[in-house]
Amino acid sequence: MSQLPPALFLSAEAPFPTVGGGALRSTSLLQYLNRHYTVDIIVFRQPGSPNPASDFPPGIARRVSVIELPFHSRHPLSRIARNVMRLLRNRPPLIDRFSGFSTQVASCLDPGGYDIAIVEHIWCASYVQQLRPYSGLTVLDVHNIESTWHERLATTESSLRGMVLRRFASACRKFEHKWLPQYDALLVTSEADSKLLSGTSKIIYPNALPLVPRPLKRRDDAIIFTGNLEYQPNLTAIAYFKERIWPLLRSRFPGLIWRIAGKNSDAVASIVNDDSRIQLTGPMDDSIATIAGAQVAAVPLLAGSGTRFKILEAWAAGTPVVSTSIGAEGLSYTEGEHLLIADEPEKFAQAIAFLLDEPAARAQLAEKGRRLYESRYTWDVAWKMLTRDLSPLLSGTVSTE
């Protein structure tokens, strides 16, 4: 029998298969716990999806408990009706979706307790009530600050949608003020996010990737955008790029392709299908290899919270990045050395054009980005930081090797 102390990992989303930024962050934490603890997992399951327990690697957990979510139709009219009800009840969508399962969570807990319990996402923060009596240390992993996420997105939307988002932002803020201080520590992606939260010990646990070899792949005459294409900040970024930036590049570089890669491509089809030089490639089996096939990674985000895995993946791929300030927020970069920043459409197009015209500058930016990824944004580096900062709170229950 293992002599490792027990830990609990509660996640709104299954980390496996590891597709998307949320799953990547959750996987890195779960792999860390697996190195130091015997782990019990509680994970929510969307109706109609495979049992998430079947995707967990052997040996990653002692026990996996699955909580079934009720069926929600994905039809647009059904979504509108749900969100109207949420607006009337002042309940933000994801907080509402993952609330109300206190009895099920409590039934999954080991009566013997845990040295540490980690909860993934603010959406599940209220379950601290069930976990605290069973855990020596309760930690919330803040992927995004939901109030900030809604506030920023509101500035990019129509007046009606903006009003709804601002109302949800206010509700998120109340939820955060109530539940986040009840945790012993919050894991945040960056110093920027840490400054936006008050009270409770905050530990910077950066988004990171496993250390992978630099892909050796021929680069096409293409620029690339990657991500979950149903995610609203990505939808907004694609529409902005299509309308304000792409026409400037399209006319200047007659052979250039804009490649959009990621799951849920149907969500953006109506935005881009009128242009034969825009490619929707669908889900990526290997996002880093996919990005390595392009000359430049474009990150024209106008809203969001946390830090962007799409930039980390581009750095790992050795592909130079052009981003807005919000897109690169929270990352430890030097502008002009690790990526280019442009917040105006014309300047964004000019930055991409410069890199397409100057192979030497493109190669230098790519190399510096790759080195930054290797030195600051790999799992091993993030794990060492986490061990250092958790150890005082755990009173020595985690090895400091």
Can you tell me the distance from the alpha carbon of 132 to that of 184, in angstroms, rounded to the nearest whole number?
A: 10
| 266 and 339, same domain (yes or no) | yes
Half-sphere exposure of 341 (CA within 13 A, CB side): 13
pLDDT score, position 2: 53
Give the residue numbers spanning the domain of 93.
6-208+378-394
User: What strands lie across the sheet with 114-120, from one edge to the other?
Assistant: 63-68, 38-45, 6-11, 114-120, 135-142, 185-188, 201-204
Can you tell me the distance from the alpha carbon of 286 to that of 32, in angstroms, rounded to the nearest whole number?
A: 22
- 254 occurs within a structural domain: yes
| 30 and 109, same domain (yes or no) | yes
| 252 and 364, same domain (yes or no) | yes
- 213 occurs within a structural domain: no
On whether the CB atoms of residues 141 and 119 are closer than 8 A, the answer is: yes
| 180 and 89, same domain (yes or no) | yes
Can you tell me the distance from the alpha carbon of 318 to that of 373, in angstroms, rounded to the nearest whole number?
A: 10
| 367 and 387, same domain (yes or no) | no
- 61 occurs within a structural domain: yes
3-state secondary structure of 331: coil
| 202 and 255, same domain (yes or no) | no
Please give the span between the terminal C-alpha atoms of the chain, in angstroms, as a whole number: 23
Can you tell me the distance from the alpha carbon of 211 to that of 209, in angstroms, rounded to the nearest whole number?
A: 6
- 288 occurs within a structural domain: yes
pLDDT by residue for the chain (401 residues), tens digit each? 458 999 999 999 888 877 778 899 999 999 999 999 999 999 999 887 878 777 888 899 999 999 999 988 878 888 888 888 998 888 999 999 999 999 999 999 999 999 999 999 999 999 999 999 999 999 999 999 999 999 999 998 888 889 999 999 999 999 999 999 999 999 999 999 999 998 789 999 999 999 999 998 789 999 999 999 999 999 999 999 999 999 999 999 999 999 999 999 999 999 998 899 999 999 998 999 999 999 999 999 999 888 899 999 999 999 999 999 999 999 999 999 999 999 999 999 999 999 999 999 999 999 999 999 999 999 999 999 999 999 999 874 433 33
Q: Quote the tokens at residue 290.
A: 């996919």
| 45 and 144, same domain (yes or no) | yes
- 159 occurs within a structural domain: yes
- 216 occurs within a structural domain: no
pLDDT score, position 302: 95
State how many domains the chain has.
2
| 72 and 173, same domain (yes or no) | yes
Provide the β-strand partners of residue 42: 10, 65
On whether the CB atoms of residues 378 and 209 are closer than 8 A, the answer is: yes
| 169 and 291, same domain (yes or no) | no
- 400 occurs within a structural domain: no
| 29 and 131, same domain (yes or no) | yes
Q: What is the CATH number of the domain that holds 51?
A: 3.40.50.2000
| 14 and 75, same domain (yes or no) | yes
pLDDT score, position 272: 92
Tell me how far apart the 2 most distant CA atoms of the chain are, in Å.
Answer: 66
DSSP secondary structure letters along 17-67 = S--SHHHHHHHHHHHHHHHHSEEEEEEEE-TTSPPGGGGSPTTS-SEEEEE
Query: Cβ atoms within 10 A of the Cβ of 73, count?
Result: 11
Strands (E), 308-399: 321-323, 340-341
Can you tell me the distance from the alpha carbon of 17 to that of 20, in angstroms, rounded to the nearest whole number?
A: 9
Query: Cβ atoms within 10 A of the Cβ of 70, count?
Result: 8
3-state secondary structure of 365: helix
| 201 and 239, same domain (yes or no) | no
Can you tell me the distance from the alpha carbon of 345 to that of 342, in angstroms, rounded to the nearest whole number?
A: 8
Can you tell me the distance from the alpha carbon of 16 to that of 20, in angstroms, rounded to the nearest whole number?
A: 10
DSSP secondary structure letters along 189-246 = SSHHHHHT--SSEEEE----B---PPP--PPPSEEEEES-TTSHHHHHHHHHIIIIIH
CA–CA distances in Å: residue 311 to residues 71, 109, 187, 343: 34, 37, 20, 16
- 237 occurs within a structural domain: yes
Compute CA 111 distance to the chain's CA centroid, rounded to the nearest angstrom: 32
